Structure 1
C-alpha cells in the first residue's frame, strides 16, 4: 500500500498532538499517585465515557468483528453483544458504589471488604495476576492487530511495527498519566469514528462491490447478514444466543465487561467528579460501545466476502505475510488497502489512535495495580509520591516490552478472546454478589481464580494436542467452566468464615452510607431492563436502516426513544 504525502502529514500530525498532550499535562500528572492514576478525581462524565469507548475500540476490535462476520455472520456478534447486560448492571447497581468507596484502584476493594491476611494476599496477588499477566495478554492481542495492519498498510516487519507503534504510546503514557490518556482518548475517538464510517461508505461503493444493494444481494453475503440466527437451528442458536444471554453475561469476567465493574472501567468511575458523573459516564459508554460503533466494521466485514471470499484469497493478496497471520481478522486491514489518498491517512490514523488509546489505558491501569496494590502496599510502604510515580513509569515500560514479545506468538484476535472468556468463566457471579452477600470472603475469590484458571488451561492444552483427549465445542467448555468454578467458590464460601462483623459494618457504611442496600431497587431494575432494551433497539434499528428494512428500523428506533425516555423520567430515583 502506498501512502501519499497527505496521508503521512495526517499520521505524523496525530503523533505530534498526542506527544504534545503528554508534555502539557506532565507536571500536573506527576505530583502524586492520585493525579497520575486518577487525575485528581475531578473528571466530567462525557470525557470519562468517551475514554471508556475509545479504550474498548482497540486496533484488534475491527478485525475481530470483521472476522466474526466472515465466520459466523452478523449474528455471531452476540458473543460480545450479550455483555451489554453486564454493562447495564454496572451502570445502575455498581457505578455509584465504586465512586463512594473513594479507593484508588478496584483491587483496594479487597481490604475494605475483607479482613485478615488473606485479604492482603488477594490484593497483592491480583495486582500481578491482573495488572501484569492478564494485562499483557490483552495488550499482546492489540499488538498482534498492529503487526497485521503495519504489514498490510506500510509493508513493515513485525519488529518495525512494534517499535514504531510502542514508542509514541509509551512516551505520552509516561508523561501524562490518566489525564493525558483521557484527553488523547477524546481526540482518538473522534478520529476513529470518522475514519471507520467514512471508510465503510467508500468501500461499499467501490466498483468491485457496486454499492449497498449489490453488496446485500451478493451470494457470499446474503447468508451472513441476519442479525438473529435461525431459531430452529439449535447448533447455531445455543452457542451464539442462548449461552451468551443465559449464562455468559453474569458468569464470565472479561476486561471492559466485568460483572459489577472493574479494571479500567472502575478506574474511570473512581476518577469521576461524583457518583452521578460515574453513572452517566458508564451509561454513555454502553450506549456508544454497543449501539453506535459496530456497524461500520460489520459492513466492511461483509464487503470483504466479495473481494476475499476465502482465506486463500487473502493469502494470495499478501504473499509476504507469515501464513500463521492469514486469518479472517486480516480482512479488515486488507479492505482498507482500497482507500484513496487522504481518506487512507484518516483511517490509518484512526487505527493508530485505536491502538494507542487501548494500550495507553492498559499501561496506566496496569501500572496503577503494580504501584498501589503491590509496591506501595508490600514492598515500600513509606515510598514518596514521586517514587511511586517513578515505579509506575518503570512498570509501564516493562509491560509494553513483554506485550510486544507475546504478540509475536499469537495468531488471531479471536483465539485470545476465547481464552480470556474461559479463564474468567464462573467468576462473574462472585463479583456481582460480593457487595451484598456477607459469606463471600477472600478464600471464595482465591478459589474462583484458581479453579477457573486451571479449567481454562486444561481445555487450552487439550485443544493444542495433535491428538486431543476429547472433542468439545468451546461454548460447552465455557458452560463447564462456569458450573465447576461457581460451585467451587460457593462451597468454599460456606466452609470458611466470613469477614469480621466490624469490617462488614465499616464497608457497608462506606459504600451505602445510612441508606438501605436495596434503596429504590425497583427503579434500578426498571432502568436496567429499559436501558438494555433501548440500546439493543438502537443497535438493531441502525442495522435495519442500513439493510433498507425501513419499517423494522422505525419500530426499533421508536422503542429506543421510549426506553430512554423512561430513564430520563426516573433519573433522580435511579441515581
Structure 2
C-alpha cells in the first residue's frame, strides 16, 4: 500500500498518545487493586459509557459484520443485534443491583450470593474459565482480525502484526490499569468512529461502486439488503432470526452481552460513582452500540459485494494471503486498501484504536479475575496490594501471549463467535434469576457450566452431533438450527434438577445478600419472612422490576427504531423511515416517563 508521510504521522502519533496516557496514569493506578482494576470507584457515567462502546468496537467487529452481510445478508446481524434485549435488561434492572453489591469483580459475587466450599470453588474455577480460557478466545478473535488487516493492508506476516500491535497494547495496559484503559478508550472511540464513517463515505462513492443509488441496483446487493431473512426459508429464519430473539439473548453467555450483566460491563458498572451513573453508562453504551455504529460497517460490506463478489475475486486481488486466513470477513480489509492517503492513515489508526481498546479491556478484566478471585483467594490470602498489582501486570503479559498464539490457528471471526455462543448456551437463565429467586444455589451454576460445555463438545466435535444434526454432506435426525436450543434445553433441565436435589444456601447467607442488594420480588418472600420485622430493608423496599421490564421494552423499540429508521433513510425508503422516526420519538418520551417512575421507586 502507498502509505505517505501524513499516514505515518497519524498512525505513530496515535500510538505515542496512547502510550503516554498509560505511562502518565501508571503511578496512581499502581497504588492498590481498587485503583488498578476499578479506578477507585469514581468514574462518571459518560466516561464509562464511551469506554464500553470503544471496547466493543474491536478490529474483528467490522470483519464479523462483513462476514454476516456477505453470507446471510444484513439480516445475519441478528446474531448480535438480539443481545440488545439482555443489554437493556441490564440497564433497567441489574445495573443498580451490581453497583449496590459493591464487589470488586462479578466473580466475587459468588461468595456474596452463595456460601461454603461450592461458592469458593465456583468463584475460583470461573475466574480461570472465563478470565483465561474464554478471555483468550475472545482476544484471539480480535487479534486474528488485526492479522488479516496487517496482511492485506500492510503486507505484514501474522507474527509481525502480533509483535507490533500486541506489544504496544500490552505495555500500556500493564502500566495504566483500568484508569489507563478508560482514559484511552475515550480517545479511541472518536478515532475509531471517525475512521469507520470516513471509510464508508469514501468507499461507497468509489467509481467502481458508483454511490448509494448504484449499490441499491446491484443484483448481488439487493439479495442481501433485507433486515429480515426470507420467511419461506425455514433454516435461515430459525437460525438467523427466531433462535437469537427467542432463545439466544437470555440463555447464552457472551462477552459484552452477558444475561444479567457481567464481565467487563459489570466491571464498569462497579467502577461508577453510584447507581445512577452505572445505569446511565450502560444505557448510553447500548444506544451507541446498536443504533449508531452498525451502518458504516454494513455499507462497506454491501459495497464489497460490488468490488469483490466472491472469495475467488479476493484471492486473485491479494495472492499473498495465506489460504488458512481466506474468508468472507477479509472483504472489509480488502476494501480499505482503496482509501487515499490521509484517510488511509486515519482508518489504520482507527483500526489500531479499535484493537487496543478491546484488547486492553480484556487484559485488565481477565487479570482482575486471576488476581482478585484466584491468586488472592487460593494462592496467597495475605498478599500485599503491591504484590497483587504486580501479579496483575504479569497476568496481563501472559494473557496477551496466549491469545496471540491461539489467533495464529484461527480462520475467521464467525468461527470463534459460534464456539463462544454455543459453550455458554443454557447458562444465561441462571444469571438472570439468581438475583430474584432465593432457591438457586451454587450447585445449580456448577452443573449448568459443566453440562453446557460437555454437551456443546459432543454436539459440535463428536459423531453424536453428526448423527443428530447432520453435516455439510449428510442430513441429521434433527434440523441443524435445533442444535443451539437443544443445548439450552438439556442444560436448563440439568441445573433445575440439580437445584432441587441439593440443599439450598444457608439462611444467613441469603439474608446477608438480601440486605446488601435488596432485589425484592416474590422470589424472596421466604427469606423476607426470616428477616426481623424491625429491619428497615423490608419496610422501605419497593420492587421496581415490573417497571424496569416495561422500560426495557420501550428501550428496545427506541434503539431498534433508530437502527432501522437509519437503514431506511439510507435505502431511500422515505415513507417507512419517517414512520419509524416518529416511533423513535414517541418511544423516547414514553421511556423517559417510565424511567422517572422507576427512579422514584428506588
Whether these two folds match at TM > 0.5 is: yes
Secondary structure of the 1:411 match is coil
Contact 1:200–1:300 under 8 Å retained in 2: yes
Contact 1:42–1:273 under 8 Å retained in 2: yes
* Paired position in structure 2 for 1:391: 391
Change (3 A) 1:342 1:474: farther
The answer to whether 1:510 aligns with 2:516 is: yes
Residue of structure 1 aligned with 2:505, choices 493, 499, 502 = 499
Q: Aligned-pair distance for 1:466?
A: 11
* Paired position in structure 1 for 2:69: 69
* Paired position in structure 2 for 1:558: 582
* Paired position in structure 2 for 1:488: 494
Distance 1:461 1:361 in 2: 31
The answer to whether 1:314 aligns with 2:320 is: no
The answer to whether 1:205 aligns with 2:205 is: yes
* Paired position in structure 1 for 2:549: 525
- Aligned runs of 1:309-388 on 2, under 5 Å? 309-388=309-388
* Paired position in structure 2 for 1:401: 401
Contact 2:49–2:284 under 8 Å retained in 1: yes
Change (3 A) 1:532 1:321: same
Distance 1:76 1:563 in 2: 26
Distance 2:598 2:95 in 1: 12
* Paired position in structure 2 for 1:567: 591
**Unpaired stretches in structure 2, ≥5 consecutive residues:** 519-535
* Paired position in structure 1 for 2:253: 253
Contact 1:440–1:498 under 8 Å retained in 2: yes
Distance 1:365 1:463 in 2: 36
Secondary structure of the 1:220 match is helix
- Taking structure 2 as the reference length, the TM-score comes to 0.93
Distance 1:275 1:269 in 2: 8
Distance 1:467 1:408 in 2: 31
Contact 1:2–1:154 under 8 Å retained in 2: no
Encode CA deviations 1:515-571: one digit per residue, 9 max, x unaligned: 677613332122111001100000000000100111111111111111121222233
* Paired position in structure 2 for 1:424: 424
- Taking structure 1 as the reference length, the TM-score comes to 0.98
Distance 1:253 1:229 in 2: 24
Which range moves more in the overlay, 263-272 or 525-534?
Answer: 525-534
Moved over 6 A (4+): 463-469
Contact 1:462–1:470 under 8 Å retained in 2: no
Q: Aligned-pair distance for 1:464?
A: 12
* Paired position in structure 2 for 1:479: 485
Change (3 A) 1:162 1:568: same
Q: Aligned-pair distance for 1:334?
A: 0.4
Which range moves more in the overlay, 474-483 or 285-294?
Answer: 474-483
Distance 1:228 1:517 in 2: 43
**Unpaired stretches in structure 1, ≥5 consecutive residues:** none
Distance 1:413 1:537 in 2: 28
Secondary structure of the 1:459 match is helix
Q: Aligned-pair distance for 1:212?
A: 0.6
* Paired position in structure 2 for 1:30: 30
Q: Aligned-pair distance for 1:429?
A: 0.3
Contact 1:98–1:269 under 8 Å retained in 2: yes
Q: How many residues align?
A: 575
* Paired position in structure 1 for 2:531: none
Change (3 A) 1:494 1:517: farther
